[in-house]
Amino acid sequence: MTTPLKQPKPIQPMQFIDLKSQLNLIRPAIDAAIKKVLDHGIFIMGPEVFELEKQLSEFCGVKHTISCANGTDALGLVLMAKNVGPGDAVFVPSFTFAATAEVVAWVGATPVFIDSLEDTYNMDPKSLEQGIQTAKKMGLNPVGIIPVDLFGQPADYDAIQAIADTHELWVMADGAQSFGAEYKDRKVGSIGDVATTSFFPAKPLGCYGDGGAIFTNDDELAAIIKSLRVHGQGSDKYDNVRIGMNGRLDTIQAAILIEKLKVFPTELVNRQKTADAYNEALKDIVTVPKLIDGVTSAWAQYTVRLPKNINREQLIAALKESGIPSVIYYVKPLHQQTAYKHYPTATTSNLPVCEALAGEVLSLPMSGYVSDEDAYQVVQTILKLTRS
């Protein structure tokens, strides 16, 4: 018999967002919660949905939480409730996930794309001012702003709210990536006229399917959204008073979220620890994420900006070889994408910051369960490449 070749130690591939460790930790509670729903059998608008809404309202210090089917519907329901439509302009960042602009197009309004800030990658208030002027020149009616809390950090709401007040616009915070974060002692959910989030599995607070929520202190808005969520029903179930949709959150997902909310605060602390470790080790090599004063991040993503001397494709390949996944959020800003190209941008030329960001950013593994060993391996792989 020949001696077998010595095998290299198998590399255990790291998860980009480690949902497995979380499940292992809370599995008995999740199983029990799902079983309870199966036993009572109220799969649509069961007691867990209302319990979750109550807990979320307490968590972020807001009067109304309206759960819904996903984070995109959350944004869309608000635009429907506000009667946004053709001729209206809604200001959205270009450097975001498509849903933020998609919902504006759904209702026939015009998304106007705004550039990003160099340091936080969030909506640039100066570019927002320009966008409002551009919309007016085009004969559009500016109605609202949807700032996005990109990668988990709240946008600069004081600066944005001041502009909104000047032009009498509403502010809807797209907190799909930032649930759990704070802006100057206010929790995401309680910032803006209305806020939304997503419970897509990979978001900071995720369920095991699709889910989302809307948060507001506005009683009237909350009542309209609740009606829209169930086909526009009125006080008499058989007399629909407006055109709505089927936008409810499943009871099973609500039951799962109630269990996940229990470990969420610890996960936020862990995410910050991982970010601190990455920051410390990488700060002299790449541009590490910058948080503005008085703000915390939910760290949906840990995204660095690479200097010219680091080739992004090479780095992605080197990380992959070590079993480390990395993702580019986002390869293309929305204003350059096929479905959105024809919509206006803040200035008629281009959006230089978000176009540069798209070519330079890279997101590293992040979750509430990144081990010290994994963080070390990520850092060492990057250091090795940049030293060679």
Ligand X SMILES: *Cc1c(COP(=O)(O)O)cnc(C)c1O
Residue 298 Cβ vs ligand X, minimum distance, rounded to whole Å: 11
Is there binding between residue 206 and ligand X (CB under 6 A)? no
Contacts (Cβ under 8 Å, ≥6 apart) of 68: 74, 77, 211, 212, 213, 214, 229, 247, 248, 249
Interatomic CA distance for residues 106 and 135, integer angstroms: 18
Distance (Å) of CA 70 to CA 18, 85, 199, 253, 260: 21, 21, 7, 11, 17
Is there binding between residue 148 and ligand X (CB under 6 A)? yes
Residue 372 Cβ vs ligand X, minimum distance, rounded to whole Å: 28
Interatomic CA distance for residues 204 and 17, integer angstroms: 10
Comparison of 75 and 318: residue with beta carbon closer to ligand X:
75
**Contact residue for ligand X among 22, 57, 67, 100 (CB under 6 A):** 100
> Binding segment for ligand X among 169-177, 255-263, 338-346, 349-357 (CB under 6 A)?
169-177
Residue 119 Cβ vs ligand X, minimum distance, rounded to whole Å: 19
Interatomic CA distance for residues 281 and 181, integer angstroms: 24
**Contact residue for ligand X among 212, 289, 344, 368 (CB under 6 A):** 212
Is there binding between residue 333 and ligand X (CB under 6 A)? no
> Binding segment for ligand X among 67-75, 137-145, 234-242, 349-357 (CB under 6 A)?
67-75
Residue nearest to ligand X (CB): 71
> Binding segment for ligand X among 24-32, 68-76, 213-221, 377-385 (CB under 6 A)?
68-76
**Contact residue for ligand X among 72, 130, 153, 216 (CB under 6 A):** 72
Contacts (Cβ under 8 Å, ≥6 apart) of 282: 288, 304, 379, 382
Is there binding between residue 251 and ligand X (CB under 6 A)? no
Task: Please measure the distance between the N-terminal and C-terminal CA atoms of the chain and give it in whole angstroms.
Answer: 41
Is there binding between residue 178 and ligand X (CB under 6 A)? no
Q: Under DSSP, is residue 158 helix (H, G, I), strand (E, B) or coil?
A: helix
The enclosing H or E element of 327 equals none
Other C-beta atoms within 10 Å of 42: how many? 11
Interatomic CA distance for residues 205 and 211, integer angstroms: 10
Q: Is 209 left (phi over 0), alpha (psi -120 to 50) or beta?
A: left
Is there binding between residue 200 and ligand X (CB under 6 A)? yes
Q: Which of 49, 68, 74 is nearest to 252 (CA)?
A: 49
Is there binding between residue 67 and ligand X (CB under 6 A)? no
Count of positions on this chain that bind ligand X (CB under 6 A): 15
Residue 177 Cβ vs ligand X, minimum distance, rounded to whole Å: 5
Is there binding between residue 303 and ligand X (CB under 6 A)? no
Interatomic CA distance for residues 357 and 330, integer angstroms: 8
Comparison of 116 and 377: residue with beta carbon closer to ligand X:
116
Residue 197 Cβ vs ligand X, minimum distance, rounded to whole Å: 8
Which letter does DSSP use for residue 124 in this model?
A: -
**Contact residue for ligand X among 67, 127, 190, 198 (CB under 6 A):** 198
Residue type for position 282:
L
What does the block give as tokens for 170? 């509403």
> Binding segment for ligand X among 94-102, 317-325, 336-344, 378-386 (CB under 6 A)?
94-102
Residue 100 Cβ vs ligand X, minimum distance, rounded to whole Å: 5
**Contact residue for ligand X among 46, 71, 192, 244 (CB under 6 A):** 71
> Binding segment for ligand X among 57-65, 95-103, 160-168, 270-278 (CB under 6 A)?
95-103
Interatomic CA distance for residues 329 and 108, integer angstroms: 27
Provide the binding-site residues for ligand X, judged by CB under 6 A: 70-72, 96-97, 99-100, 148, 174, 176-177, 198, 200, 210, 212
